[in-house]
Structure 1
Amino acid sequence: MIANVIRSCFPVAAQAVADKSEDINKLNVFPVPDGDTGTNMSLTLGTVVREVAALPADSDMAAVAKAITHGSLMGARGNSGVITSQILRGMAEGLVGAHDPVTADDIAVAFRNSVKVAFKAVRKPVEGTILTVIRDISSRADRCAKEKMGVPEMLEALVVEAYESVARTPDLLPVLKENGVVDSGAYGFATFVEAFVNAALGKVGAAIDFDTSVATASGAHNAADARVAIELNDDWEGSEYRYCNEFLFKAEEGFDPDAALAHLATLGDCELVVGSFPDFKVHVHSNEPNRVLEYMLKYGQVYEVFIHNMDMEAHDRTAGIAADQAAAAKPAEPRKQLGFVAVAAGDGEAEILKSLGVDVVVSGGQTMNPSTADILDAAAVANAESVIVLPNNGNIRMAAEAAASASEDFKIVVVPTKTVPQAFAAMFAVDVDASAEDNAEAMVEAIAEVRDGEVTHAVRDSQAADGTPIHDGDIMGIAGGDIAIVGSDVEQVTLDLINKMQAEQEGDTLTILAGQDMDDERFEALCDRIEDAQPDLEVDAHRGGQPLYPVIFSIE
C-alpha cells in the first residue's frame, strides 16, 4: 500500500536533508549570513514527519496526502520551504489514485502533478533551481513509464536524473556558475529523493513503526473537553515527593533494568524504566533528583533531562485555568477593519514598527524565517477583517503569500517589503479609513521611493557586482541587492556606501538602524561622520537591534 511506503520512507528522507542541512546552506550563492535553504527545507520536512506520524495506522493515501499538504504548508519556511511544500503537495495528491502495488505510470502521474502545482505557486519560475530539477525528474519519469520500466529500475533512474539535473543548474543560472556552486534548493531536493528511494528499495534500515497513541489520546481529549468543563483545583495537598524526574538513558554493558527499578523505588514512587538495551526512558517522583541521576550515571549516560516541580506546576495549572476561564467569560472584541503584521529581527525595529501602527510583529529575518503558520497566527491576533502583512525580507514573501491563500476567516494582503526601512515608509503611507487594497497600492508606491543599504560580513569567498574579490570575513555594503562596497571596517564601508548612493541619486533623509553588535558610542560616532560627509542629508538614527547586520539604512 503506497500510504505505508510514504509513512516509512518519508522520515528517512527528511532526516537525510536534516543531516546535510549545513552543507546545503553553504551552497547559497550570496555571501551574506542568510544561507538557510537547508535549514528551511529541513524544518518544513520535519513538520510533515510529525503530522503524518500522528495519523491512525490504517490511514489511506488520501489521509496521508492531506497531512503532507497541511504539514508542509504550515511548516514552510523561506522560499525553499514554500516551494518544497508545493512539490510535496502535488506529489502526494497525484498518488491518491495510485494502484496497489504502485506502477510506473502512477509515479509518472504523481511527478507531473507535482510539476503542475509547484510551477503554479511561483509567479516567475527561474531556471536552474529546484523547479528545474522537479521538471527534469518528471520528464524522465514519463520516459521510463513509456519504456515499461519496472518500478525499482525507474526509481533508481529518477535519482540519477535528479543529480544530473542539479549538476546542470550552473549552466542555466549564471550566478551559480560565477560562484562555482550548484543550486542549494535543487541539491537539497535531490538529497531527499535519493534517501526516499533508498528507503523504498530497502537500502537503509527497517521501516519505521509509528506510535499513534498520542494522536488517539489527543482526539479523545478534545472530544471530552467539548463536553466536560475543566474544574479549578485549589486544594492540591501535594505528594510525598515533589519532583518529577524523567530522562533518556543510554545503558552500558551489564546494566540491569530490574535492579535499577528496585533501587529507584527506594528513592521515590511512580518509577518506570522502559525500553530495551541500550536505550531506556526513566521516570520517577522523588525529593532528591540528584540522587536519582547519580545512581543512573553509574551505569550509563543520561540526556534530555527534565525535572519538574509538581507542587509549582499544580498551582500554575490552577492559575492558568482561572485566567483562561476569565478570558473566555469576557465578550469577544469586535474586529477592526484593518490590521497590520510585520516581520522584524531586532527589538528596536519592533518598537518602531509598533509605534507606526503595526499590531503584531513576528520575530524573524535573514536566518530565522517565520513559517506560514507563524504569519497566519500573527494575522489572527491582529483581529481585523483585513490584515496587511509586511514580510520585510524577500525570502519570507512566499510564506506570507501562502498565509494569504490559506486564510479563511479574514483577508490577508501582502505588501512585498524587502527590508524594515521599507516597512517604515509603507506605514507612513497608511490611511486607516481606506480599504486594504487601496492602502496596499499606496504602500507599494511609497516603498518604490526608498533605497536601501545594508552592511554585513561575508561568510565565504565570492565577488562583488563589479568583480571585486570578496574574502571570508570582509565587510560588505549592499545596495539594491548588489554588493557595492567591500572593505574591512564597518563604519568606513557604511560611509562609502552612503556616499556612493548619494552620488548616484541624491536623497533628503537617511533612516539608519544600529544592529545588536554596534554599541552606542560607535553608532553616535558613525552618525557624526555621516553628517560631516553629507551635510544636506537629514539623519534619523535609531537602535534596531538586528543580528548579523551592524547597520541597515534607507535613503529617501
Structure 2
Amino acid sequence: MEVLKVNELKLAIQSASNKLFNNKERIDALNIFPVPDGDTGTNMSSTFQKATDMISNESFKTTKELIETFSRNMLLSARGNSGVILSQIFKGFSNAWKSTKELTPKNIVDGFEEAYKTAYDSVLKPVEGTILTVIREVAEELLKLKITKNTTIDKVFDVAVKTSKKSLANTPNILPVLKEVGVVDSGGEGLVMILEGIKSFIDGKFVEVDMDSTKPFALVNDIEVYSGEFGYCTELIIKINDVKKFVKNKFVSQMEKLGNSMVVVNDEDILKIHIHAIKPGKVLELGQKIGEFLTVKVENMTEQANNTKSNVEGIKNYEMNKIQPSKKNAIISCNSGSGFIDMMKELECDYIIEGGQSNNPSAQDIIEAIDAVNAKNIIILPNNSNVILAAQQASKIRSDKNIHIIPTKSQVEGITAIMNYSSELELKDNLQEIEQSLKNLIVAEIAQSVKDTKINNVKVKKNHYLMVLQHKIIGSKKDLISASKTLVEKMIKSKKRCEMLVIYCGNNVSEKEAQEIEKYVLNKYDIEVQIQIGNQNIYDFMFGLE
C-alpha cells in the first residue's frame, strides 16, 4: 500500500477501536494496585470508541478533515490519565496532517514524531516506562527509516508495531514498580493494541468486535434485579446484510421487548440502535441476525443500583436546579457513593459530577459542569489522581473561564477542601485556605486485595486487607478490623498534633464495625472521632485525620 486514502484511514481507526475494545478487560487487569479499580483499558477504549462513533457516519474529503474531527472528539471524550494522553497522541497526528489529503509513508512518520512530542508536552512530569515511552520509541525508530519511493505504508506499520511491542516489554525495566508487581505498562499495552488494529486493516484483516474475548455482560444473571433505567446502555451500528429482506417495523417490535429508551435509525444499509437493556447479550444476538457490527458500545448503568438509584435521580434534579445566573465563585466536585454525594450537597457544592474510582468522568462531563455553574472563578476538585488530567484538559478547552484545579486524590481530601471554601471569599483566599487545610490532612484507606502480589516491598495475599497511607500501600492483614486499627495507629503516630479522626464507611461494612474502631481510638488517644457513611465502593474504610 503506497498511500492511505481518507476512507481507508477511517476503517483503520475502526479496526483499531475494535482491537482495543476486545482487549480492554485484559488491559484493565494490568493494574499495579491489587484492588479492583484497574480501568486503563476501559478508559482508553471509551475515549477511542466515542471518537470513532463520531466519524463513523460522516464523509470526509481529506485526511485533514477526518483527523481533526477525530482528534477533537477524542479530546472531549477523554477519560482518565490514559485517555487524556491518548487524546494528545492523536492531537499530534492532527497537527502533523493539517494540509494532508491522503497519507504517504513520510506523512505517517512525521505524524508519529509530532504525536510523541505533543503527548510529552501535555504531561507536567513525564514518567518513563509508560505509554509515553512507547510512543516516543516508535517515533524514534520510524525516523531512522530511509523513506524512498519503494517504501510502503505496510513497512511503516510493520516497524511501528514491532517497535511498540519491544518497547512495551521493556517498560518493567524502566519503571521499577512494574517489575515488582510483574506487569507491563497498561497504557502502553493499549497503544500496542491500537497499532495492531491499524496494521491488521492494512494487511487486509479488519478487526471485528469479538464478544467472546471480553466480558462486558459477566455481571448479568437471572437472579439480579434492576429497575427503572438501570441496566446497560447499549448502542450498535450495524451494516445490514440484506436490505431488501430487512423489515424495520418487525425488527423494532422484537427489539423493544428487550429494554426501554429505544431509538432505531435506519439509513439505507446502516442501522443505528440505542436501547437500555437488562440483558444486552440478547440485544447483540438479535442485531447480529440482520448484519455485521460496525460499532458496539455497552455501558453499565447498574453499578451501585441497589444503593444509589434515588441519589442518581436526585443528582440530576440537583444539577438542573444549580444552573444559575453568573456569580463570582463556584466549586465543582467529582464524587461517587451516595454518602459522599449527600455530604457534598450539604456543604453546598455547586455541581457534583458523579464518578471517580473505576468510573472516571470524561473531559466533556467536566466541561458541562463548568458551563452549568456559570461563574467567574471556578474551583475543581477531581478527588482522584486519574481524573486530574481530564480536569486540566477541560480547563484548557474552556480557557475563557478562570479555572483552578486543586489536585485532590481522594474524596476525603475533597470533603476537607470544600469545608474550607466559602463562596464569599476572594479566589486567592479560598485557594490559600484549601491548600493549607490539605497540608494538615492525613488520608488512609482499607481495601481488600484481589490478587497475590508484592508492591513497595510489601507482600500482599489475595483477600487480605491492604493498608494504604497517603496513597501508598504500607502493609496488609487478614482481618479487616485488625488492619484498620493498625492503620489508624500509623496515621496518628505520623502526625505531631491531631484533633479529629473521621471514619468513612464503604458499601461492604457496617456502622457497628466502624464503632469498634472508634472505641479503640477513643480508649487509646485523646482525639475526637466521627463516623460518616460514604457508601463508596472498593475501599471498606476511608480515614481522614486532622
Which residue in the other structure is 1:38 paired with?
Answer: 41
Tell which structure's C-alpha radius of gyration is larger.
1
1:50–1:265 CA distance, 2 compared to 1 (3 A)? closer
Contact residue 361 and residue 387 of structure 2 kept, 8 A: yes
Aligned to 2:421: 430
Query: Which of 190-199 and 434-443 deviates more?
Result: 434-443
Q: In structure 2, how many angstroms separate the alpha carbons of the residues matched to 1:373 and 1:397?
A: 14
Report the CA distance shift for 1:503/1:99 in structure 2 as closer, same or farther (over 3 A): same
- Once residues 197 and 470 of structure 2 are traced to their aligned partners in structure 1, the CA distance between those partners, rounded to angstroms, is 39
The corresponding residue for 1:452 is: 443
Tell me, yes or no, if the aligned pair for 1:69 and 1:88 is still in contact at 8 Å: yes
Would you say the 8 A contact 1:257–1:273 is kept in 2? no
SS of residue paired to 1:144: coil
- Pick one of 197, 202, 205 that aligns with 2:204: 202
Contact 2:421 2:434 in 1 (8 A): yes
| Match 1:175 to one of 174, 177, 193 | 177
Which amino acid is 1:345 matched to? S
**Among residues 439, 448, 462, which one is paired with 2:430 in the alignment?**
439
Describe the SS at the equivalent of 1:550.
strand
Name the SS for the 2:170 alignment partner: helix
Is the aligned partner of 1:476 residue 2:466?
A: yes
Matched AA of 1:143: K
For 2:145, what is the secondary structure of its paired residue?
Answer: helix
Question: When the two structures are aligned, how many residues end up with a matched partner?
Answer: 468
**TM-score, normalization by structure 2:** 0.78
Cα distance between partner residues in 1 of 2:109 and 2:237: 44
Instruction: Name the structure 2 match of 1:134.
Output: 135
Q: 1:97 to 1:517 in 2, by over 3 A?
A: same
SS at structure 2 position matched to 1:9:
helix
CA separation of 1:21 and 1:333: change in aligned 2, threshold 3 A:
closer
CA distance in 2, matches of 1:64, 1:498: 54
- Output the CA distance in 1 between the equivalents of 2:249 and 2:70: 44
Residue 162 of structure 1 is matched in structure 2 by: 164
2:506 matches 1:505 = no
Aligned residue in 2 for 1:241: none
CA apart distance, 1:78: 0.5
Q: Of 3, 14, 17, which aligns to 1:14? A: 17
Matched letter for residue 544 of structure 2: S
User: How many Å separate the matches in 1 of 2:359 and 2:501?
Assistant: 27
- How far is 1:113 from its partner? 0.9
Residues 464 and 494 of structure 1, relative CA distance in 2, 3 Å threshold: farther
Q: Deviations over 1:330-355 (max 9, x none)?
A: 9x953110001111111111121222
Residue type matched to 2:49 in 1? G
* SS of alignment partner, residue 7 of structure 1: helix
**One-letter amino acid matched to 1:170:** P
Q: 2:407 aligned with 1:404, yes or no?
A: no
Residue ranges of structure 2 left out of the alignment (5+ in a row): 209-235, 255-263, 274-281, 297-319
Corresponding position of 1:321: none
Q: How much does 1:435 deviate?
A: 3.4
Structure 2: distance between partners of 1:440 and 1:265? 54
- Is contact 1:65-1:93 (8 Å) kept? no
Structure 1 gaps of 5+ residues are 207-246, 283-292, 305-327
Give distance in 2, aligned partners of 1:335 and 1:49: 35
Asked whether the equivalents of residues 107 and 141 of structure 1 are also in contact (C-alpha less than 8 Å), the reply is no
Task: Tell whether 2:67 aligns with 1:65.
Answer: yes
The structure whose RCO (Cα within 8 Å, separation 6+) is larger is 2
1:303-344 Cα shifts (integer Å, max 9, x gaps): 99xxxxxxxxxxxxxxxxxxxxxxx9x9x9531100011111
TM-score normalised to structure 1 length = 0.76
Contact 1:105–1:145 (8 Å) recurs in 2: no
Q: Does the Cα contact within 8 Å between 2:16 and 2:194 map onto a contact in 1?
A: yes
1:290 maps to none
Classify the secondary structure of the residue corresponding to 1:388: strand
Amino acid corresponding to residue 37 of structure 1 in structure 2: T
Alignment of 1:305-324 (within 5 A): none
Whole-Å Cα distance in 1 between the matches of residues 176 and 360 of structure 2?
26
Give the equivalent residue in structure 1 for 2:534. Answer: 544
Q: 1:301 to 1:136 in 2, by over 3 A?
A: closer
Paired residue secondary structure (1:552) = strand
| Aligned residue identity for 1:155 | F
Structure 1 residues 24, 281: CA separation in 2 closer, same or farther (over 3 Å shift)? closer
Distance 1:334-1:274 versus aligned 2 partners, 3 A rule: closer
Q: Residues 47 and 75 of structure 1 are in contact (CA less than 8 Å); yes or no, is this contact kept in structure 2?
A: yes
Q: How far is 1:366 from its partner?
A: 1.3
Looking at structure 2, the residues matched to 19 and 265 of structure 1 have their Cα atoms a distance apart, in angstroms, of: 28
Give, in whole Å, the separation in 1 of the partners of 2:390 and 2:237.
36
1:108–1:145 Cα contact (<8 Å) kept: no
Q: Deviations over 1:390-427 (max 9, x none)?
A: 00010110001111111145322101111112122222
**Preserved CA contact (<8 Å) 2:177 2:455:** no
Are positions 1:525 and 2:516 aligned together?
A: yes
Over 3 Å counting, the alpha-carbon distance change for 1:264 and 1:54 in structure 2 is closer
Equivalent pair of 2:64/2:100 in contact (CA under 8 Å): no
- State the Cα distance separating 1:301 from its structure 2 match: 10
Task: Report the equivalent of 1:124.
Answer: 125
Q: Residue by residue, what CA displacement relative to the aligned partner does 1:8-53 show, whole Å, maximum 9, x if unpaired?
A: 1111101111110111011111212211100000000011111112
2:476 aligns to what? 486
Give matches, 1:60-459, under 5 Å: 60-98=62-100, 100=102, 102-145=103-146, 149-204=151-206, 333-459=324-450
2:460–2:475 contact (8 Å) kept in structure 1: no
CA distance in structure 2 between the partners assigned to 1:265 and 1:147 by the alignment? 54
Q: Determine what percentage of the aligned residue pairs are the same residue.
A: 28
Q: Give the counterpart letter for 1:359 in structure 2.
A: D
Residue 351 to residue 147, structure 1, CA distance change in 2 (3 Å): same
Q: 1:122 to 1:258 in 2, by over 3 A?
A: closer
SS of 2:415's equivalent?
A: helix
2:81 partner SS: helix
Distance 1:114 1:477, change over 3 A: same
Contact persistence 2:157–2:195 (CA under 8 A): no
Equivalent in the alignment of 1:227 = none
Amino acid across the alignment from 1:365? G
Deviation at 1:362, TM superposition (A): 1.0
Task: Give the partner amino acid of 1:377.
Answer: E
Instruction: Give me the whole-angstrom Cα distance separating, in 1, the residues matched to 2:437 and 2:412.
Output: 11
Structure 1 residues 105 and 432, CA gap change in structure 2 (3 angstroms): same
* C-alpha distance after superposition, 1:170-195 (max 9, x if no partner): 11100011111110100110111111
Q: Is 1:51 aligned to residue 51 of structure 2?
A: no
